[in-house]
Amino acid sequence: MRDYMVSFTNGSCGNFLITIIERTALGDEVTYDPMALGKFNDAHQNTHNRNFKQEKIIPKIPGDMKEGFLSMNRINKGQPVFIPMHLYWPSVQFQKFPNSRIAVILHTEADALDISISGFFKTEMSTSDWRGPGGQRFSIALPPGGGGFNQNNVIFENIRQTNPTALTPKEVGIIVRSRVAMVLAAGYHLIEPIDDPRIFYIQYRDLVSDPDKVMSFLEQITDQKPTDIVRRDIEEYQTRQADLIRTVKTDLGI
């Protein structure tokens, strides 16, 4: 039995990647409906069974992803886990799940604005529910005050107190541009791939625009040939992702 993890920064389509990894790895073991995508192309609810639960949702040290990750446990023994995470720390990841493969979504600095837009709309603007660790359902729309916007600059004052769905286009523009700092702070554009046969790297730009490269990546990480259904899901997701980014940039004038 092999486990799978996807390491990615918020907005770089990690839930989409874990979904198509699962669909490829399990193959004929599970019958899947076509991928159901949210209003903003969010793919959070499409995995069949992520098969893990996380005990420590809020870490003792703010922002410490390792603590929460190490509290994850397999739900059904004998079945693989499929974990999307904002943690890239191979030694820690393999310590917890030694028989696993890690997919890492890299990006360039030039991708940061697109990733910021994607992350904001897929999480804070989405009103859909998604199935989180352990199978429980969560709303991914944040309440007023969400998003972690700077407490020391008055331009964020109204943003902190307003539900994301009620923000003006000007305020959304401020948010997505400021979130670029969050994307770059995660450091995925600084990662230098290491030579480890258990770790597989893919560029964000390829993931959202090149179906052939994604199909090849899936075959490499799973040792299984993706089906035509998976390819159809990839192409639909990529088309919708391009439409989302283009529409937002046009509407916000950025």
Amino acid letter for position 109: E
pLDDT tens digit sequence for 17-38? 999 999 999 987 777 787 888 8
* pLDDT, position 128: 52
pLDDT tens digit sequence for 123-162? 888 655 544 444 444 444 444 444 567 788 898 888 888 8
Q: Is the pLDDT of residue 112 over 50?
A: yes
Spatial distance between the Cα atoms of 19 and 2, rounded to a whole number of angstroms: 15
| Side-chain-side CA neighbours of residue 172 (13 Å) | 21
Cβ(120)–Cβ(11) under 8 Å?
yes
CB contact set of 87 (below 8 Å; sequence gap of 6+): 7, 65, 66, 69, 93
Angle of helix 228-252 relative to helix 169-185, nearest 10 degrees, comes to 120
